[in-house]
Structure 1
Amino acid sequence: MRILVVEDDVGIASGLRANLQQRGYAVDMADGIASAWSALRMERFDAVLLDLGLADGDGSELLRRLRSSPVPGSGQPQALPDPSIPVLIVTARDQVHQRIAGLDQGADDYLAKPFDVDELDARLRALLRRAAGRAAPTIRYADIEVDPAARTVRVQGRPVDMSPREFSVLLVLLEARGRVLSRQQIEERLYSWDAAIESNAVEVHIHHLRRKLGSACIQTMRGVGYFMPQDLPA
């Protein structure tokens, strides 16, 4: 899952990035409203961590602009971000009225600094789960059970070893099951701007997943991309 962190304190930003990357997220950074808006227009993110006290203005202005954006594909002449992207405010403003204001302005959750990174991760998982339309903390698909919190996979109750990247590819395809994703779309969900990507990385990960989970789980639409069927035949 790919996260945009909007934070102008270099120390906090680097710490957040390192901790989130250790938990399997692809993380991109923006240090203000202008750079964050440009990033949201250019790339697709699964969630935004938003500080409010930014050098070029109040982060709530970015939130307002985001929530008032037209839905992409509605005939707009320029690229626009998805107005429904989950936003978690992470800020030192911890008064009750400030939290209420942030949530009323369109934030999906609010976390006051200082915070525990494990709690941040749990809140992120909850946001991503709701955005995907899931209520259960685990994902079940045929005889496969995936636990995003523990980052574990079981097939018929037996654990399956996976690399962090294989797990991430599986999670992306599971969340989009029934829809075809191109290699570029998968890469965009897995890699930050500065990540080095081998040309056949996605194909290699999918080959390994098929070997571990069964070839029917991930199918190819030639010339288009990969998908997991909505339901596997019995």
Structure 2
Amino acid sequence: MQGVLYVSHGSRVPEATQEAIEFITDVQQQVDISLQTICFLELAEPTIAEGVETLVKQGATTIAVIPVLLLSAGHYFKDIPQAITTIQQQYPHVSFTYGQPLGVQSRLTQILQTRINETAIPINEDAQILVVGRGSYNPQTQVDITAIAQELQTLLPVNDIEVCYLAACKPSFEDALSSALESEYSQIFVVPYIWFTGILERHIAQTVDTTKSSSDIVLCDHLGHHPAIKEALKDRVLEAVTQV
């Protein structure tokens, strides 16, 4: 019997955990599979092991593990597979398939355009857009964020789009914002490529709030509950359950 295990990152911020649960629950309702459950990689419960146990007790003999992640990085390549390998020893009669993170997709880049438009602030010709990624030691992260920024460039009437990161990669968000301020752009749009709210988004907001500048700094919303990203996750589920 088919089961689906959604593995979200987890957060110390209760609102972030709740946002992830509500998002995934919406996707579950669009997937015609009776056995589905949510777990977290860290910082929240249930754990991956507890999620697998729940599905097995309900009768699952095949489990599609769905990483609720934007991009391929350490959690995708290392942490989740290691956890599943350990757990699989407890359930030798259960087979597992492993889905993909969302990756770089035009429909997700278009959400960034939507988040900018939602500010209802016209973009000046000399504005700068800062696309803020989470960051990772995996080099693919920078490749992906750069590709996203390049595609966003084709969607907006602005010449300068830069990428920056909250951890592990350079330039850091703080350095990129400082550089933008020194360049005296009339506007700086800060666009988080972050799925759910949490500590990272709060850090961005606090940094923007405490930065004094003659430029207009416009903070856009995170990706959140946009229909396109729900559709993208549903597609990853359907791909994983049809793996041979």
- Alignment TM-score > 0.5, same fold: no
Q: Which has the higher helix share?
A: 2
Higher relative contact order (CA 8 A, sep 6+): 2
Q: TM-score if structure 2 supplies the norm length?
A: 0.34
Larger radius of gyration: 2
